[in-house]
Amino acid sequence: MKKVILYARVSLIDLNLENQLIPLRKQCELRDLTVVAEFSDHASGTSSDRPQLRKALAAMNSQNADVLMVA
């Protein structure tokens, strides 16, 4: 079974990350993929600072993940 890390980002603090994460989780379930970690950022599209994305990319190696799914 392939290992997956999920990443989602919203630009406004009042937007709901679950609206992105739920479909990603469902796709993993349908494809028999195992989610090993989830990361998310609240950041404006004009900002290039994505600390959780950096953590997700680092986790690809430390978790021996096969796939990074991004909403």
Per-residue model confidence as pLDDT tens for the chain (71 residues): 899 999 999 887 667 899 999 999 999 999 999 999 999 998 766 667 889 999 999 999 999 999 999 98
- The pair of three-digit structure tokens given for residue 54, joined into one six-digit string: 């950096």
Any idea which residue has 């379930």 for tokens? 29
pLDDT recorded at residue 24: 97
Q: How far apart are CA 52 and CA 56, in angstroms?
A: 6
Q: What is the DSSP letter of 12?
A: S
pLDDT recorded at residue 13: 66
Find the radius of gyration of the CA atoms of the chain: 12
